[in-house]
Amino acid sequence: MNTNLSKEGDHIIVGAARMSEYLPLLKNKRVAILTNQSALVNGVQIVDTLLKRNVHIVAIFGPEHGFLGTANAGATVTNGVYSREKIPVISLYGKHFKPTPEDLKNVDIMVYDAQDVGVRYYTNLASMQFFMEAAAENHKPFIILDRPNPLGFYVDGPILEKKFKSLVGMQPIPIVYGMTIGEYAKMLIGQHWLSDPKMTPDLTVIKCLHYTHNSLYQLPARPSPNLHDMASIYLYPSLCFFEGTPCSVGRGTKYPFQLFGHPDFPDSLYSFTPQPELGATEPKLKGQVCYGYLVATNAKEALEKVGHHLQLKWITEAYHLFPDKENFFNKHFTNLAGTDKLQEEIKEGWSEERIRKSWQPGLKDFGQIRKKYLLYPDFTR
């Protein structure tokens, strides 16, 4: 585990709180913003914060789970209207994933503010990319109000192979990439990774203050419905693999992304029963008693279990326990891993050390790319 991590996250000032840096850019402009419930400024959502300061917001765009952050994972989200100002709320997880020219015809400038968790699977990465591309295509300036990456203190996992590109992995980066959304956006432009490599968005990143990649940052709100707390966020890179298997990862329980199990596992193990709840109205294995492992119940325990690594021991253990091994991994697992090699290596009985060693050349190459775009001091070990 990285013992150099700083626990002074409470002193960090997020980009959205640095209003003197960006309110002048919004003055007398018609503003479109992509955001959700996670984007708080001193406990107040960014849209309300801006409206109170007479910013003219003409459109709100919502990512996966919607602007309010309550929709099920992967669910189509419909459009709506926000507040007495009757601002249209346009879903970028519905009929389309990118704003249309019609959506932006009355917009002068575009803003992004949503909490990322620093994991390639997280679809906010794709939403930000599409939003930035729309800004470039429609000749609009684009501002990112940067926020700390709660997993910004390490980099790990296989590099995504382009043939496995999807909404849970758009770019050739590792699963845990150790960058803020502002740094990531700069990398997309600098590496010519946007849909049109010649695209040059007019990007401004409003940086955080007092943040480094050694910081331990406590999120002020859930980034999405099933990432309840810091324990689930620390375990998310390792346990999200179960979304690509028949196993439950705890959606519809008290501990989503903190446990895993299946009805066919030994009944001597930890038992739980997924039930419908907000943000998980149809959880996998709903109403079935599952047996498995509760990995951690609090942030300290979770961080001790993972340290600064993507852990494979839990997915490997589940594979060994599952009776129908031919049907353990599905296509979604391949998309999450970003490669078809990982499941084959687990099937062939590779040790975690051997699998991890196979990632190192790709991680080394990515490390050289990553460091070119860092806006904050890097982590130390």
Q: What is the CATH number of the domain that holds 129?
A: 3.40.50.12170
Flag whether 332 is in a domain: yes
Task: Evaluate whether 79 touches 89 at the Cβ level (below 8 Å).
Answer: yes
DSSP calls for 93-113? SSS-SS--TTTTTT-SEEEEE
Asked if 206 and 270 sit in the same domain, the reply is no
Asked if 157 and 125 sit in the same domain, the reply is yes
Q: What is the mean pLDDT of the chain?
A: 94
What is each CA distance from 316 to 57, 194, 242, 334, 344, in whole angstroms?
A: 48, 35, 10, 15, 11
Encode pLDDT of 58-81 as tens digits. 999 998 766 876 656 666 667 888
pLDDT at 83: 76
Asked if 306 and 185 sit in the same domain, the reply is no
Q: How far is Cα 373 from Cα 151, in angstroms, rounded to an integer?
A: 17
- Provide the pairing of β-strand 44-45 with 40-41: antiparallel
By CB atoms closer than 10 A (0-12, 13-18, 19+), residue 75 is: middle
Per-residue pLDDT averaged across 350-362, rounded?
98
Q: How far is Cα 376 from Cα 45, in angstroms, rounded to an integer?
A: 25
Asked if 318 and 211 sit in the same domain, the reply is no
Per-residue pLDDT averaged across 144-170, rounded?
98
Per-residue pLDDT averaged across 312-339, rounded?
98
How many beta carbons lie within 10 A of that of residue 52, not counting itself? 9
**Of 161, 194, 219, which residue constitutes the final position of a domain?**
219
Encode pLDDT of 216-247 as tens digits. 999 999 999 899 999 999 999 999 999 999 99
CATH number at residue 256: 3.90.1150
Range of the domain at 33: 9-219
Q: Which amino acid is at 166?
A: S
By CB atoms closer than 10 A (0-12, 13-18, 19+), residue 19 is: middle
By CB atoms closer than 10 A (0-12, 13-18, 19+), residue 92 is: buried
- Provide the pairing of β-strand 109-113 with 30-35: parallel
Asked if 41 and 145 sit in the same domain, the reply is yes
Q: How far is Cα 132 from Cα 125, in angstroms, rounded to an integer?
A: 11
Asked if 260 and 207 sit in the same domain, the reply is no
Flag whether 335 is in a domain: yes
Q: How far is Cα 358 from Cα 361, in angstroms, rounded to an integer?
A: 7
Structurally, the chain folds into a number of domains equal to: 2
Closest listed residue to residue 275, CA positions, set 263, 267, 284 = 284
Asked if 290 and 203 sit in the same domain, the reply is no
Flag whether 356 is in a domain: no
Flag whether 39 is in a domain: yes
Max distance between CA atoms of the chain, in angstroms, equals 64
Asked if 57 and 160 sit in the same domain, the reply is yes
Closest listed residue to residue 379, CA positions, set 178, 163, 176 = 178
Flag whether 4 is in a domain: no
Let me know the angle formed at the C-alpha of 291 by 285 and 297, rounded to the nearest 5 degrees.
100
pLDDT at 1: 37
Q: At what angle do helices 230-239 and 313-321 cross, to 10 degrees?
A: 60
Q: How far is Cα 332 from Cα 338, in angstroms, rounded to an integer?
A: 10
Flag whether 2 is in a domain: no
pLDDT at 8: 47
Asked if 315 and 264 sit in the same domain, the reply is yes
Flag whether 81 is in a domain: yes
pLDDT at 74: 60
Asked if 18 and 165 sit in the same domain, the reply is yes
**Of 176, 198, 219, which residue constitutes the final position of a domain?**
219
| Segment holding 48, helix H or strand E | helix 46-52
Asked if 207 and 236 sit in the same domain, the reply is no
Task: Evaluate whether 226 touches 74 at the Cβ level (below 8 Å).
Answer: no
Closest listed residue to residue 175, CA positions, set 344, 343, 319, 362 = 362
- Which residues face 119 on adjacent strands? 176
- Going by pLDDT thresholds of 50, 70 and 90, the confidence category of residue 3 is very low
Q: Which amino acid is at 322?
A: F
**Of 198, 219, 240, which residue constitutes the final position of a domain?**
219
Instruction: Give the ranges where 213-298 is alpha helix by DSSP (H).
Output: 230-239
- Provide the pairing of β-strand 142-145 with 203-206: parallel
**CA end-to-end span of the chain:** 9
- Which residues face 31 on adjacent strands? 57, 109
pLDDT at 360: 98
Q: Per-residue pLDDT for 94 more than 80? A: no
Flag whether 28 is in a domain: yes
pLDDT at 93: 85
Asked if 140 and 288 sit in the same domain, the reply is no
Per-residue pLDDT averaged across 126-141, rounded?
98
- What share of the chain in percent tops pLDDT 90? 87
